[in-house]
Chains A and B, each alone.
Chain A
Amino acid sequence: MCLAVPGKIIEKRGNKAIVDYGGVRREADISLVDVKEGDYVIVHAGFAIQVLSKKDAEETLKIFEEMLKNA
């Protein structure tokens, strides 16, 4: 139920946007997030619930490696 999938905003249409999930495109509601075209969002049950931070995604692995080093 709380499964949410990352996708890319292709085109904004008011409160809705076309989101691309690795080739599959579907409309999602974007009224809960501030997004621009090209942003990555996490979509749950047809609603984007957060903007995915690419920087933080890249950082995650780095943090993992550093945490292990410093442990």
Chain B
Amino acid sequence: MLQLRDKKIADEILARIKKLNLQLKIMHVCGTHQDTIVRYGLDSLLKDCGIEVIQGPGCPVCVTTTLEIQKAITLAKNGVTVATFGDMIKVPAAGTSLQKARAEGGDVRIVYSIDDAVKMAGKGEVVFIGVGFETTAPSTAVTLLNEPENFYVLSCHRYIPPALDALLGMGEIRIDGIICPGHVSTIIGMEPYKPLSCKYEIPQVIAGFEPLDVLMAVYMIARQIDEGRHEVENEYIRVVRPEGNEKAKEALKEVFDPADAEWRGFPIIKKSKMALKKEFEEYDAEKRYEDLLENIEMAEEAKGCRCGEVLRGLIYPQQCPLFGKICNPSNPVGPCMVSIEGACNIEYRYKND
């Protein structure tokens, strides 16, 4: 993989992009892409070639709504064991967080995999906060198909293509091309992006996560624009098959139904959330703990936090007046500063010296 960081090839790709002489704004929707882009300084290299790259709603923790986090906190405060991925516990909601709930005696566990949470359920009921896009959701689906005991899921899983559709449809900013997330695409393949390229006449390229992957994806988009094409192409052929992962797609289809849902920073996006099917409602935390969860009202976002605009690609992290001042990774005001996939957190980690 080190070869995919070769400076000579990088310089050559950059020179080719520059030669096309285009002024483009390209969006990607993946925290791991953003990490590669900022860590290796690709953002400034590309800027010199006329290309602006911005992160959209590609951070599952960030797009999880305040209401969903309030529900998780409510469970923890009422004696339910809550298991979740690490990033979730620091996200502030309604003046508290899962971390604070834990400090006040709540049983909040950090897990690396849903498997760890299932193992805990041997000793008592566990609610797993299912966060993540199509990459992560198959692990939840497979787990439920195995009929675990004492185990419930608060599904916050979401589909990426409806969010891209919503974003392009809103038309708030000009987007000339999209770098599609490599590991979401590993599951869903190339097909689900095609209607979007048609509808919005926009090039999309699935990319891997090494610096050359990202540069090449940008070049492939630029070349499509130069040649007047708008297609879905795959740069990440070593992992992504055109059809995706059939077993994983099948598991998702068996367990989840698409439901309309809010995303942080967005109005309701049609068919964008993975809701547990009726056949799996015995595992649905919203049903099991209906009495605790049904009447919670979504709290207001923290004052001054502009995560919503960051997630819609309208502003860069530094354009938020709180960035690096009262909002930093030790004291995050919004989720984009909490999650290692959030644009603000990544910007702060690599550039704030």
Query: Which positions in A face B, CB cutoff 8 Å?
Result: 1-4, 6, 29, 31-33, 42, 44-47, 49-50, 52-53, 56-57, 59-61, 63-65, 67-68, 71
- Residue of A2, A47, A64, A68 with highest tally of chain B CB at under 10 A: A2
Nearest-CB residue, chain A, relative to B226:
A71
Residues in B whose Cβ lies below 8 Å from that of A57:
238
Complex: A35 Cα to B186 Cα, angstroms: 16
Residues in B whose Cβ lies below 8 Å from that of A3:
31-32, 183, 341
B183 contact from A31, A44, A56, A68, Cβ within 8 A: A44
Which of B130-138, B274-282, B292-300 makes up part of the contact surface? B130-138
> Does B85 touch A at the CB level, under 8 Å?
yes
> 1/0 contact trace for B1-24 toward A, CB 8 Å?
101100001001100100000000
A-B Cβ contacts below 8 A, count: 116
B341 contacts A42, CB within 8 Å?
Answer: no
A1 contacts B61, CB within 8 Å?
Answer: yes
A32 contacts B87, CB within 8 Å?
Answer: no
Complex: A56 Cα to B32 Cα, angstroms: 21
Residues in B whose Cβ lies below 8 Å from that of A4:
135, 183, 186
**Given contact pairs A2-B31, A61-B3, A45 touches B136 in the complex (Cβ within 8 A):** yes
B113 contacts A47, CB within 8 Å?
Answer: yes
B113 contacts A32, CB within 8 Å?
Answer: no
> Which 6 A-B residue pairs are closest in the complex by CB-CB distance?
A46-B113, A57-B238, A56-B238, A47-B139, A2-B183, A2-B135
**Contacts A50-B241, A67-B219, A71-B16 known; 18 new A-B pairs at CB < 8 A:** A1-B131, A1-B135, A3-B31, A4-B135, A4-B186, A6-B1, A29-B139, A29-B142, A31-B142, A33-B247, A44-B136, A44-B139, A45-B132, A49-B183, A57-B238, A65-B9, A68-B9, A68-B16
Q: In the complex, which residues 86-145 of chain B have their Cβ closer than 8 Å to any Cβ of chain A?
A: 87, 112-116, 131-133, 135-136, 138-139, 142
